[in-house]
Amino acid sequence: MKKTAKLFLIGSVATFGLSLTGPGGDILFGFLKPLGALLFGAFFITNLLANEYAIYDQEQKLKPVHSGATDAKPMRKSVERLEDRGLLAQAAAK
């Protein structure tokens, strides 16, 4: 996830910088600035949701693969164990 966010940020800065140059401003003005804005928006959203993705990934690792039961008790216990160990807080901090 972090690689994707970095790519979005680098792409945003690169397109904005290129749009400030002479040829980039004259020829691609209508393309580069909106593209830079879209890439920055994607970067912002990716960073905003990074903690939620980490928690979701942890929950999916705990979910049994071939469980026919619909009871959520095992999942709840696993999440409580993660909270006791402080692993969810670590995942949210990343």
41 and 54 fall within a common domain: no
For 5, other C-beta atoms within 10 Å of its C-beta total: 17
What's the number of domains the chain is made of?
2
Residue in 44, 48, 59, 46 with CA at minimum distance from that of residue 91: 59
Q: What is the pLDDT of residues 12-69, one digit of tens each?
A: 999 888 888 887 777 766 788 888 899 999 999 999 888 888 888 888 888 766 555 5
The domain in which residue 34 lies consists of: 2-48
SS3 state at 54: helix
Q: What is the pTM of this model?
A: 0.57
42 and 55 fall within a common domain: no
41 and 55 fall within a common domain: no
55 and 85 fall within a common domain: yes
6 and 44 fall within a common domain: yes
Q: What is the pLDDT of residues 74-83, one digit of tens each?
A: 556 666 666 6
